[in-house]
């Protein structure tokens, strides 16, 4: 395994699973939500709204620290916001795994943290679908940035 996202993910799965109690795991998610970088207001719009979520959630990502795609950097940045803290915490797992990583690694990573932790038993099927949708969106964006960078080189 040489994908930097997958390496970080494996450590996360081990750490999360060591919190055996469901309440502790949810408190972990709350802490992730509480400690998250503040989400830019300009990205709290219809374009960045995650569809199909029971609570409102937004995702922004890019290859610069302000989550835009203005630079030639191949480093990925992601942030997420929700009016429900636990949803925000779950989305922040994705941010934790992908921030400062190469866009190619984000685009090609095999994300298994939902299935390989107790999250799969704890979240509803709607939330599970919502998280899968968020992961697809993030990877699609990373793949687009990677392709743009490749085209720029050519």
Partner 1 sequence: MTITPEEITKIRNDFPILNERVNSKPLIYLDNAATLQMPLPVMQRIEKHYLHNNANVHRGIHTLSEKSSYDFEQARIRVQKFIGAQTEESIVFCSGTTDAINLAANMLDENYIQPGDEIIVSDLEHHSNFVPWQQLCKKNKATFTVFNTTDGRIDFDRFKNTINTNTKLVAITQVSNVTGSVIPIKEIVRIAHEHNIPVLVDGAQGIRHNLGSVEELGCDFYCFSGHKLGALTGIGVLYISPEIRERFSHIELSPTRFGGSMVDAVTTSDTTFAPQPFCYEAGTPHYVGAISLAAALDYIDSIGCSKISTYEADLLKKLESSLKEIDGLHILGNSQQRAGCISFIVDNVHPLDLATILDKMGVAVRSGQLCAQPILASFRTSHVVRVSPAFYNSKEEINIFLKYLKDALKLLQRYR
Among 84, 114, 137, 143, binds partner 1 (CB under 8 A): 84
Q: Does 19 bind partner 1 (CB under 8 A)?
A: no
Most distant CA pair in the chain: distance in Å?
51
According to CB under 8 A, which one of 26, 37, 64, 133 is a site residue for partner 1? 26
Cα–Cα nearest to 36, from 95, 111, 123, 117: 95
Is 22 a binding residue for partner 1 by CB under 8 A? The answer is yes
119 binds partner 1 (CB under 8 A): no
User: Is 129 an interacting residue with respect to partner 1 (CB under 8 A)?
Assistant: no
CA distances from 79 to 1, 51, 59, 71, 131 (A): 25, 16, 6, 18, 14
**Residue 21 near partner 1 by CB under 8 A:** yes
Distance CA 117, CA 70 (A): 36
Q: At what angle do helices 85-98 and 125-153 cross, to 10 degrees?
A: 30
Minimum distance, C-beta of residue 21 to partner 1, in the bound complex (Å):
7
Any contact of residue 66 with partner 1 (CB under 8 A)?
A: no
Chosen residue from 5, 9, 33, 106 binding partner 1 by CB under 8 A: 33
> Binding residue for partner 1 (CB under 8 A) from 14, 15, 31, 65?
31
Under rule CB under 8 A, residue 34 binds partner 1: yes
What's the DSSP call for residue 65? Answer: T
Looking at the chain, which runs of residues are DSSP E strands?
57-62, 75-82, 101-102
17: three-class secondary structure by DSSP: helix
Which C-beta is closer to partner 1: that of 27 or that of 65? 27
Binding footprint of partner 1 on the chain (CB under 8 A): 21-23, 26-27, 30-31, 33-34, 54-55, 83-87, 122
């Amino acid at each position: 395994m040489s994908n930097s996202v997958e390496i970080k993910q494996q450590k996360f799965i081990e750490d999360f699973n060591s919190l055996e109690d469901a309440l502790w795991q949810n408190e972990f998610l709350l802490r992730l939500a509480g400690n998250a970088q503040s989400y830019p207001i300009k990205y709290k719009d219809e374009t960045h709204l995650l569809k199909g979520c029971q609570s409102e959630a937004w995702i922004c990502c890019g290859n610069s620290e302000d989550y835009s795609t203005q630079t030639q950097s191949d480093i990925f940045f992601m942030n997420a916001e929700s009016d429900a803290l636990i949803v925000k915490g779950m989305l922040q797992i994705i941010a934790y795994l992908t921030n400062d990583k190469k866009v190619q690694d984000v685009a090609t990573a095999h994300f298994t943290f939902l299935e390989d932790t107790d999250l799969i038993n704890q979240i509803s099927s709607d939330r599970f679908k919502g998280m899968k949708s968020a992961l697809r969106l993030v990877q699609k964006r990373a793949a687009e940035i990677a392709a743009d960078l490749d085209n720029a080189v050519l």
